[in-house]
Amino acid sequence: MNRKSISIHWLMQGAVIAAMYVALTLLFEPISFGTIQIRIAEILTILPLFTSAAIPGLFMGCLLANLIGGTVVLDVVFGSIATLIGAALGYALRSNRWLVPLPAVLTNTVIVPFVLKYGYGLELPMMVIAGHVAVGEFVSCFILGELLASALLERKDIFE
């Protein structure tokens, strides 16, 4: 493949990841938003294990899902930034499959509670909100994400 086709391939991967993130978030809307949530789309945070295109793909997917889902501006901005940071750090840790989802869990656990408290006026202690976010992220990123990783590792060629 020449450089131009690799670039187009990379852009297409990112676009497909973004579209999948939006679709999964909206498909599972009742549990994708709210104070206690399990955003099924976060299973895709394992994709930096396979391609750097997952970084902008996850960021754009989260941004679009939050815009379409009607979240507050703080959520659109900082929720998306949390996903971007998590994806970039996950890609940096891709040499260890088991560490890839960790940054997504950590960045969301640190950033999203502030969004929930100050963007939505949630009146719970910050540590309780962080605990809720951490549990949802753990389920999505580690449990479901690792199931996805196992399936994709058998078909690794789809990211080449």
**For the chain, what are the domain ranges?**
3-159
For residue 155, what pLDDT is reported? Answer: 84
User: pLDDT tens digits for 64-74?
Assistant: 999 999 999 99
In this prediction the pTM is 0.93
What integer pLDDT is reported at residue 6 of this predicted model? 72
Answer yes or no: is pLDDT of 12 > 90. Answer: yes
Taking each helix axis from N to C terminus, what angle separates 102-114 and 126-137, rounded to the nearest 10 degrees?
A: 150
DSSP one-letter code for 157: G
> Of 137, 140, 151, 146, which is closest to residue 109 (Cα–Cα)?
137
pLDDT of residue 37: 87
Mean pLDDT, residues 105-113 taken together: 97
**What pLDDT sits at residue 1?**
60
Residue 4, pLDDT above cutoff 70: no
Average pLDDT over residues 20-43: 93
Q: Judging by beta carbons within 10 Å of its beta carbon (0-12, 13-18, 19+), is residue 76 exposed, middle or buried?
A: buried
- Identify whether the C-beta of residue 145 lies closer than 8 Å to the C-beta of residue 43: yes
| Residue range 61-65: mean pLDDT, rounded | 98
Residue 159, pLDDT above cutoff 80: no
Task: Assess whether pLDDT exceeds 90 at residue 2.
Answer: no
Proportion of the chain above pLDDT 70, given as a percent: 95
| Average pLDDT estimate for 123-128 | 96
**Is 70 exceeded by the pLDDT of residue 110?**
yes
Confidence label for 5 from pLDDT (cuts 50, 70 and 90): low
